[in-house]
């Protein structure tokens, strides 16, 4: 085999179709762009239609195939529509559940409304995506589902109990589903990223007018970077490449696993 051919094939997604939720920003956006770069047609879904369309436009401008659609993952019915849209592009091979939201409060102050919102999006949204994707993939002979957990499921940090609870639940959902659907050719894995500056994490350094305070940003990111053995925070592409690995034939013997691109800040 010619040099590079075996590796090229292992990561080749030409002719494949992916759905990425939360594709309008951050890790979902990077995942969508990297999957498209590997040859995949990508349905970019986000509750924010404009941002989903913007990601699809970037992919299209780079020569890839993508569609941007509005989809609230907390609404169980949208997942079936996303499956149908994927089928209109040729099938469903990859599903990435990246849509997620955060709330911060100490346990003693945690509002039920925040808990309900995080459960609806982070947990039920991921479950509904797994169900719709899993049914279609089981019927069509297989596929790969990638769920976005978080290092927060492993490292107890103050004020993020509701978020960490949902991300811990995503881990067990991933493992149990992997157990149930492996014989149907469906692989289910999760990624537990460390700290990656995105819209979600920018709340730590936003001014009241919504713009980023650079000094505050540096003050937040520097200790985060120091804490990690690799001495930096993550880039969205660090997570996008982990998604590519789990989506591609390179990981065909991998299921029920939690991959942790986190600079070594947590080890398990
Ligand atoms: N950035 C980090 O440091 C980090 C670390 C660990 C895990 N994560 C997880 O990675 C995922 C992506 O986070 P991010 O940092 O890219 O955040 P982000 O805020 O940049 O992107 C999240 C996207 O999800 C979309 N979204 C929110 N609610 C939705 C809904 N109900 N339906 C559909 N889309 C919805 C948002 O509009 C946004 O475009 C999340 O699940 C998050 O919990 C992020």
**Which is it for strands 94-97 and 143-148: parallel, antiparallel or unpaired?**
parallel
Rounded Cα distance, 27 and 25, in Å: 7
Asked if residue 200 has its Cβ within 6 Å of ligand 1, the reply is yes
Asked if residue 129 has its Cβ within 6 Å of ligand 1, the reply is no
User: Hey, which residues does 97 pair with through a beta bridge?
Assistant: 21, 147
Rounded to a whole number of angstroms, the distance between the first and last alpha carbons of the chain is 37
Neighbours of 55 (CB within 10 A): 26
Mutate to test the pocket of ligand 1, among 104, 200, 232, 242 (most ligand atoms within 8 A of CB): 200
Total count of residues recorded for the chain: 268
pTM for the structure as a whole: 0.98
Q: Please return the burial class of 223, using the count of CB atoms within 10 Å of its CB with bins 0-12, 13-18 and 19+.
A: exposed
Rounded Cα distance, 36 and 38, in Å: 5
Query: Can you list the residues of the chain whose pLDDT is less than 50?
Result: none
Which pLDDT score is estimated for 1?
Answer: 61
Rounded Cα distance, 227 and 234, in Å: 12
Strand, coil or helix: what is 152? helix
Task: Starting at the earlier edge strand, list the strands of the sheet with 143-148.
Answer: 66-70, 41-46, 17-21, 94-97, 143-148, 186-191, 258-259
pLDDT tens, position by position, 15-63: 999 999 999 999 999 999 999 999 999 999 999 999 999 999 999 999 9
Ordered domains of the chain (ranges, CATH): 15-196+236-259 (3.40.50.720), 197-233 (no CATH)
In the chain, pLDDT over 70 holds for what percent of residues? 100
Using CA atoms, how far residue 34 sits from 11, 30, 44, 248, in Å, is: 11, 6, 12, 12
Mutate to test the pocket of ligand 1, among 19, 21, 26 (most ligand atoms within 8 A of CB): 26
Strand, coil or helix: what is 137? helix
Q: Provide DSSP, 188-240.
A: EEEE------STTGGGGGB-TTS-B-HHHHHHHHHHHHHHSTTSS---HHHHH
Among 264, 127, 248, which Cα is nearest to 194's? 264
Asked if residue 136 has its Cβ within 6 Å of ligand 1, the reply is no
**How far away, in angstroms, is 6 Cα from ligand 1 center?**
34
Nearest CA residue ID for atom 21, ligand 1 = 25
Asked if residue 260 has its Cβ within 6 Å of ligand 1, the reply is no
Q: Dihedral through CA 93, CA 11, CA 154, CA 24, nearest 10? A: -60
**How far away, in angstroms, is 92 Cα from ligand 1 center?**
22
Q: How far is CA 90 from the centre of its chain?
A: 22
**How far away, in angstroms, is 9 Cα from ligand 1 center?**
30
User: Hey, which residues does 144 pair with through a beta bridge?
Assistant: 94, 187
Asked if residue 24 has its Cβ within 6 Å of ligand 1, the reply is yes
Q: Which numbered atom of ligand 1 lies nearest the CA of 194?
A: 5
Rounded Cα distance, 242 and 249, in Å: 13
Asked if residue 101 has its Cβ within 6 Å of ligand 1, the reply is yes
Which active-site residues does the annotation give?
A: 163
Strand ranges in 180-245 using DSSP code E only, listed in sequence order: 186-191
Which pLDDT score is estimated for 268?
Answer: 87
């Amino acid at each position: 085999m010619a040099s590079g051919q075996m590796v090229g094939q292992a990561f080749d997604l030409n002719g494949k179709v992916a759905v990425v939720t939360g594709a309008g920003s951050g890790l979902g956006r990077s995942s969508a762009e990297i999957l498209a770069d590997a040859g995949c047609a990508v349905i970019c879904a986000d509750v924010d239609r404009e941002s989903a369309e913007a990601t699809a436009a970037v992919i299209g401008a780079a020569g890839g195939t993508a569609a941007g659609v509005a989809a609230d993952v907390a609404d169980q019915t949208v997942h079936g529509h996303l499956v149908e849209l994927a089928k209109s592009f040729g099938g469903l091979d990859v599903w990435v559940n990246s849509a997620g939201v955060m709330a911060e409060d100490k346990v003693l102050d945690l509002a039920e409304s925040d808990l309900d919102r995080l459960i609806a999006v982070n947990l039920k949204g991921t479950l509904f995506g797994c169900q719709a994707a899993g049914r279609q993939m089981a019927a069509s002979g297989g596929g790969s589902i990638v769920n976005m957990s978080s290092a927060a499921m492993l490292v107890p940090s103050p004020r993020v109990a509701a978020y960490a609870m949902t991300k811990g639940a995503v881990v067990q959902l991933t493992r149990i589903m992997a157990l149930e659907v492996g014989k149907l050719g469906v692989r289910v894995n999760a990624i537990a990223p460390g700290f990656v500056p995105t819209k979600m994490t920018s709340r730590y350094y936003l001014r009241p007018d919504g713009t980023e305070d650079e000094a505050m940003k540096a003050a937040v990111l520097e200790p985060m970077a120091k804490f990690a053995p690799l001495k930096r925070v993550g880039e969205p592409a660090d997570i996008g490449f982990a998604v590519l690995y789990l989506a591609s034939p390179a990981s065909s013997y991998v299921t029920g696993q939690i991959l942790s691109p986190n600079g070594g800040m947590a080890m398990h």
